[in-house]
């Protein structure tokens, strides 16, 4: 009973009924090798051990590639970080492509169950990742009923060249536009604080997925609900437009 109370405390009422979902990809739908690629690409620039998961989540996740590279190098105290950022980002991309070809991409089972449940309800969904690799990775994930993971989404704004990255809400507002749904009636599923902040800045409900034990960080960023697994979201409530924890 205590665990249910603790989860429910993270939930607050959103002023509008929710009718559409917008999903980040890395860390929400897919366990991708982005973080590993960033870490391994640091060789010769900084000690890779210092590139921890909290560093990745706080400074790199959800940002355009070059912006993430610069943020990481500056945080790690790399001299002349601005000049080094482009080459670092290119090395990361090359390393990522090697890892993807080696099969280092997996879908989170709870995420697959969640999006397929929403699809069965007829809820329109969009995928919205700043990564230009997201489409290729999602096409590698096949669903039990046929088709790949990318096919289940009505709108796809992955990898778009936008003026500003998260925490600016531009990518989520674009997704709402392509879904033909008012932003206030969308919920965004994110695992990074920058994404939660972007959702709130766009007037959307924010569902945080704390896969790394970082629930407090996502709450502090403004998440309306934080769960450790998408299995904990009440599908019946979501069908009625409310973002709540599943009752056990």
pLDDT tens per residue, range 54-81 = 899 888 987 888 999 999 999 999 999 9
Q: How confident is the model at residue 15 (pLDDT cuts 50, 70, 90)?
A: confident
Q: What percent of the chain has pLDDT over 70?
A: 95
Structure tokens, 213: 């034990």
* Average pLDDT of the residues of the chain: 91
Q: What percent of the chain has pLDDT over 90?
A: 77
Averaged pLDDT for residues 177-197: 96
Judged against a pLDDT cut of 50, whether residue 124 lies above it is answered with yes
Residue where the block lists tokens 């690409």: 41
Q: How confident is the model at residue 11 (pLDDT cuts 50, 70, 90)?
A: low
pLDDT greater at residue 91 or residue 6: 91
> What SS3 class is residue 82?
helix
Judged against a pLDDT cut of 50, whether residue 166 lies above it is answered with yes
Averaged pLDDT for residues 30-45: 92
What pLDDT is attached to residue 3?
41
- Distance between CA atoms of residues 240 and 153, nearest Å: 20
State the Cα torsion 215-111-246-122 to the nearest 10°. 130
Averaged pLDDT for residues 176-186: 98
- Distance between CA atoms of residues 69 and 87, nearest Å: 9
Structure tokens, 3: 């665990």
- Distance between CA atoms of residues 207 and 243, nearest Å: 8
Averaged pLDDT for residues 147-153: 96
What pLDDT is attached to residue 4?
41
What pLDDT is attached to residue 191?
94
Judged against a pLDDT cut of 90, whether residue 120 lies above it is answered with yes
The residues pairing with 107 across neighbouring beta strands, listed in sequence order, are: 30
**Domains of the chain, CATH where assigned:** 2-31+105-239 (3.40.50.1000), 34-101 (1.10.150)
- Distance between CA atoms of residues 54 and 51, nearest Å: 8
């Amino acid at each position: 009973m205590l665990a249910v109370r603790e989860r429910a405390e993270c939930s607050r009422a959103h002023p509008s009924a929710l009718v559409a979902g917008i999903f980040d990809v890395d860390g929400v739908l897919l366990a991708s090798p982005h973080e590993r690629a960033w870490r391994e690409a640091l060789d010769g620039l900084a000690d890779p051990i210092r590139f921890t998961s909290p560093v990745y989540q706080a400074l790199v996740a959800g940002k355009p590639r070059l912006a993430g590279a610069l943020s990481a190098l500056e945080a790690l105290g790399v001299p002349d970080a601005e000049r080094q950022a482009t080459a670092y980002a290119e090395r990361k991309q090359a390393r990522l492509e090697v890892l993807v070809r080696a099969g280092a991409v997996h879908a989170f089972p709870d995420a697959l169950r969640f999006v397929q449940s929403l699809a069965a309800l007829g809820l329109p969904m969009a995928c919205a990742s700043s990564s230009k690799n997201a489409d290729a990775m999602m096409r590698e994930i096949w669903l039990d009923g046929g088709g790949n993971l990318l096919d289940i989404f009505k709108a796809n704004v992955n990898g778009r060249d936008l003026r500003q990255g998260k925490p600016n809400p531009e990518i989520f507002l674009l997704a709402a536009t392509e879904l033909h749904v008012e932003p206030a009636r969308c919920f965004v599923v994110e695992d990074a604080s920058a994404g939660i902040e972007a959702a709130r800045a766009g007037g959307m409900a924010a569902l945080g997925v704390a896969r790394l034990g970082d629930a407090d960080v996502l709450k502090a960023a403004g998440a309306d609900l934080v769960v450790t697994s998408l299995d904990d979201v009440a599908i019946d409530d979501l069908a009625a437009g409310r973002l709540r924890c599943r009752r056990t």
